[in-house]
Structure 1
């Protein structure tokens, strides 16, 4: 009995220690250890983390630290700290050049706000450069946002606001971020100048309310001039903006603005929606979305896959210029992989997510494409898309519009809804081996061989899951062969797109869904609503566009994808 009491006493002490909310205080760690010839301070509490921060800001910018256990900034793992964390080094623009090893532990409930005093930066770290490294770190249940800032281009990210160079590797972030007054925001890194972000995952739901006239948001990195590789985004993102001047919002599943950078072997599962509007103005509105990159300028995107739904909407309150009478033209541009590509390259990619570009105004340049919305002096090669594409103007199963000297070669539309592969083509653009194929043809091994025809024998880019089904990117098999991948998507909120376990009756928007045994009963107020049911691999099992009451009997218990018009849910039937 005494041993039991001793254990209970220890657990009580540890519980009080772990769940004491951080008040903003700092205390020096009691120990350090040597790792690989370097001395690392052992961080075990929020107070010791704050001490580490203070050392860097005092000039010891190459100090190293390692987490020895999980840290709770709030009172428990579900709480956010009431004390605000200022990004390390941000107030005086001090560059961290040391190593911070999360040691696969987590920091819970970190709250950070960008403001004038910290140059608009928010995140765990402000600036990382030199040989600075952040690795093996989990940030969970973060709450980050931006307040007023007079900076020209403020940035913020869950882990690092500005990665000058250096590395962020093998890290994970979850929680919420409102980047309303930020130019560049990312789930992990706000702006990556020349660094590397790799093997990392984002589950931070990001919203931007457009209080900056031009903004770029990415699930992993907001603006990228370095390398982003082997990363996955599961979180939904949304952008809006209503201004009396020109407003432009850009969001990408992995990177918002890829400025001469490289994006390789990444996957997006999150849904993205940008809606911008100019009020009482003759200036135009722009909205760009892409499953991997919103805007790709002189950069490259390769070996990437998108499953998320993309929607761009741009409008203006006035349809004509006051003085000239000329129409105000708005630019919503959406692509399954890239929204807009200028002087860039896209190769060996695949898209499964729906794409839509809309504009309520009569005059618009809406462009939507299964792979790229607007292709300008850029190239696409060796890729395919199997997605529904819609636009008020230019809708292509592969590309919305190809401008200038753009080139398209060996790209394929699988079951492309009888759309043109490229909706609009400039006379200087070149197209070769770009066509539609049936799903049956795409599931044949010959199609994989076609995509691999320029790959070396020992380095095949494309393969299939268990030698069947649609081609996948071989290096992404751990994601693309996961049957319930879509069920891991993180919704914007309880009314957004997400995962729902159905038992009894469930309302999805205006639609009522009921499970009776193995029957899926769907009641919708719209007689012509398009209802589709897919298996967890994306294979369509049922589709109907007639009737207010629909019924479908599933073959077995498991996860299914239910789509009612533009509302998508991953459901589990027990």
Structure 2
């Protein structure tokens, strides 16, 4: 134990720690000193979550940048209550208000396949990669394992069933709840079997998110999902790249990556009310509502978003599927948004929007609107039938306010229904509560800015798409949300303008502050072009926070207004690790050529087997009359010999972690037709060390000589940071 932390070095110690928490010693702290593999004989073991319904984890668990792998979870803990039953699966069972999990990666698969029947009880299933329930905080952590839920609830039931599934946490319902700088790359699928045609049953809810299944209070910031998120099989299916459902919460500076896909699918054909048969998918939040205002700020979706099936109401949006009482600001959608599967005639209302599928209105929370948002992804409704189908560049169906938004994405509505419409900004303005101000759309994408205008809203003017893609900037985002660098090395992170990534950063925004927490792990500098430079100072994982002012745009004349900028906060995870490379080697160490001939040099890092990688190599010759570098590919170059003499070829290599090394090779060239002389080898190292004298002094001298021989190659290398 070090200080107040148990040092966990192996699987047995991790199991002991879990048993301590589960038996009631739930406020203890732990740190991992290395990666932990829980497998036995090459096979994953069954993991029992840390914590129980009576003993939620209340301490600090610091992974220190390490990974726990080699486990599966297939059995959950039933809380056994008489009228309410819940099943909870995750690496942790419950992280309570004072609990903290940080700097941890979990790489275990969770699979729940069951046909349990709970006819007379309300039943909830919570499945999270790191924790099932979260009332505390999770920082700088990742899930790389897959989560698969396939439950067969085929019998008639008189009570409601809810499924909550998330890559980091299944459910968060505390003001203290926070998920910061976390990521999911695992595939998350909740594909369940219900007898949806049976009467006398309550609806089933299937809520799936890349980071969190449902967050009803709390904050999610700086998180990234790059995995598949798929919700299918219940009456109500919500899928979100970050959150399946969000209410009374804040989601800020989050990214749903290009390799991610979010799909919500409904197969219900027997629903009894408009609240059932709802299918909603969003790149950030699948479904957002609540009695208090929520916020989605500075988020970006690059992935695909789709809804499909036979439900009553279908929503799809690049940022949010259905949102009510949720303000969306400075957010962008780059990915495609679509509804393409067949729907029975007169059965479904479909709303597909580049930013939000349906933006609802509340008289109590008029601040819930879309501000400074951009869509450049395609918006598509396929050749399907339904009651009404609307597609909009910004919003499919709108009852609230839109301000400072712009669309450049293509809009396609091939529905065979007579009740269909498309708009460059809005598919349909449903009520007179809707408004559109200082917004525009690419003239090539739609015939009108508003497809159906029931509210008498002022129709925005269009602009050429080239003007929008070159000038429109609604938000800022890091090109990558994670950076790993070696201790002592310097690397950079770039903030990009969206959707016009080539726009001049300094004209649209200004960085006002940069911090790293904990302090001391890395130092930073920044430039006016949005580039942040970081130098690793000590090992560990930290949160990089950047605040910036973003200037507003006037879309009527495409000018920038610097008088009243909005403030954005961006966060990213920075990990500083050990450097494993020590220098550069060239093979061969010396090269002899005949004039008119060519040879090859190859660079590699020392020592052999280092985990570091060469990112680039620059080759040069100090005597091009004798030998030149004619071409290079990867870590090798071709050297052409021209005239008798010698030249020094120098390789300057930069590793992927920012370290720079140089090494040189002497090229000896003979005249054409004259064989090049063989290089004279160095004096051979004796088979046994020379004994410089008798007794202990002789042993010391001999060892010292060997140490000097070992250091000689390192002394010959020229290195620089």
Report the TM range for the smaller structure's normalisation: 0.5 to 0.7
1:184-209 CA distance string (max 9 Å, x none): 11011011011101111101201223
Q: CA deviation at 1:155?
A: 1.1
The answer on 1:257 being equivalent to 2:303 is no
Are positions 1:373 and 2:396 aligned together?
yes
> What is the CA distance between 1:113 and its match in structure 2?
3.2
Confirm or deny that 1:158 pairs with 2:167: yes
- Aligned in 2, Cα 1:477/1:261: closer, same or farther, shift over 3 Å? farther
The equivalences for 1:326-405 within 5 A come to: 328-343=346-361, 344-358=368-382, 360-361=384-385, 364-376=387-399, 378-391=400-413, 392=415, 393-405=420-432
Q: CA, structure 1 residues 59+348, in 2 after alignment: closer, same or farther (shift >3 Å)?
A: same
- 2:438 aligned residue: 410
Partner of 1:292: 319
2:138 is aligned with 1:134: yes
Please give the alpha-carbon distance, in whole angstroms, between the structure 2 residues aligned to 1:310 and 1:407. 23
Q: 2:127 matched to which residue of 1?
A: 122
Query: What corresponds to 1:175 in structure 2?
Result: 186
Change (3 A) 1:39 1:390: same
After superposition, the C-alpha distances for 1:4-33 in whole angstroms (9 at most, x for unaligned) are xxxxxxxxxxxxx98x8x9xx93238999x
Please, which of 193, 213, 216 is the counterpart of residue 190 of structure 1?
213
Query: Is the Cα contact below 8 Å between 1:465 and 1:477 reproduced in 2?
Result: no
- Structure 1 residue 58 displacement after superposition: 4.5
Partner of 2:447: 419
Relative distance call for 1:112 and 1:463 in structure 2 (3 A) is closer
Q: Would you say 1:442 and 2:503 are equivalent positions?
A: no
- Structural mapping, 1:300-311, within 5 Å: 300-311=327-338
Look up the match of 1:106.
105
Cα offset, 1:309, TM superposition:
0.5
Q: Corresponding residue for 2:31?
A: 42
Q: CA deviation digits over 1:316-372, x for unaligned, max 9? A: 44x4xxxxxxxx2422211000001111411100111000124522x5311001100
* Residue pair 1:215, 1:250 contacting (<8 A) in 2 also: yes
Q: Which residue of structure 2 lines up, in the alignment, with residue 71 of structure 1?
A: 67
| CA distance in structure 2 between the aligned counterparts of 1:244 and 1:305, rounded to whole angstroms | 34
Indicate if the aligned counterparts of 1:127 and 1:161 stay in contact, CA closer than 8 A.
yes
Q: Determine the C-alpha separation between the residues in 2 that align with 1:87 and 1:204.
A: 26
CA distance in 2, matches of 1:470, 1:444: 15
**Per-residue deviation, 1:213:** 1.2
Question: Which residue in 2 is equivalent to 1:570?
Answer: none
Distance of aligned partners of 1:300 and 1:309 in 2 relative to their CA distance in 1, 3 Å threshold: same
- Shift of residue 111, structure 1, vs aligned partner: 1.5
> How many residues align structurally?
414
Distance in 2, Cα, partners of 1:232 & 1:477:
18
Q: Which residue matches 1:239?
A: 264
Distance 1:153 1:31 in 2: 31
Unmatched 5+ residue regions in structure 2?
1-8, 22-26, 40-44, 80-85, 154-158, 193-204, 272-276, 362-367, 475-496, 512-528, 533-721
Aligned counterparts, 1:515-526, within 5 A = none
On the 8 A contact 1:335/1:371 being kept in 2, the answer is yes
8 A Cα contact 1:27 1:50, kept in partner: no
User: CA offset at residue 463 of structure 1?
Assistant: 10
**Is the 1:56–1:62 contact (alpha carbons within 8 Å) kept by the matching residues of 2?**
no
Deviations 1:142-201 (A, max 9, x none): 233252467533211111111012101110111111122452110110110111011111
CA distance in 1 between partners of 2:170 and 2:145 (Å): 17
How far off is 1:478 after superposition?
8.2
Q: CA deviation at 1:122?
A: 0.8
CA distance in 1, matches of 2:78, 2:178: 16
Bigger CA radius of gyration: 2
Residue 28 (structure 1) aligned with residue 17 (structure 2): yes
CA contact (8 A) 2:333 2:376 kept: yes
Partners in 2 of 1:125 and 1:396 — Cα distance?
42
Q: In the TM superposition, what whole-angstrom CA distance separates every residue of 1:391-423 from its partner, at most 9, and x where no partner exists?
A: 132111111001112101111102433521111
Distance 1:29 1:440 in 2: 58
Instruction: Look up the SS of the partner of 1:141 in the other structure.
Output: coil
**Corresponding residue for residue 200 of structure 2:** none
Deviation larger for 266-275 or 149-158: 149-158
| TM-fit CA distance, 1:94 | 5.7
Deviation of 1:95 after TM superposition, in Å, equals 6.1
Partner residue in 2 for 1:143 = 147
Change (3 A) 1:26 1:444: closer
SS at match of 1:27: helix
Q: 1:231 to 1:418 in 2, by over 3 A?
A: closer
- Secondary structure of the 2:388 match is coil
Contact 2:173 2:216 in 1 (8 A): yes
TM-score by length of structure 1 reads 0.64
Cα deviation code 1:487-522 (max 9, x no counterpart): xxxxxxxxxxxxxxxxxxxxxxxxxxxxxxxxxxxx
CA drift of 1:245 comes to 1.6
Taking a change above 3 Å as real, the CA distance of residues 478 and 352 of structure 1, as seen in their structure-2 partners, is farther
Cα offset, 1:51, TM superposition: 9.2
Are the equivalent residues in 2 in contact too, given 1:253–1:270 (CA < 8 A)? yes
SS of the residue corresponding to residue 106 of structure 1 reads strand
Q: Alpha-carbon deviation of 1:294? A: 0.3
1:274 to 307, 311, 336: 307
- Aligned equivalents of 2:212, 2:251: Cα separation in 1: 10
- 418 and 50 in structure 1: CA distance in 2 versus 1, 3 angstrom threshold: closer
Gaps of 5+ in 1: 1-16, 33-37, 75-80, 279-284, 320-327, 450-460, 480-574
The alpha carbon displacement at 1:261 in A equals 1.7
Structure 2 distance, partners of 1:300, 1:146, is 34
SS at match of 1:442: helix
Q: 1:236 to 1:58 in 2, by over 3 A?
A: same
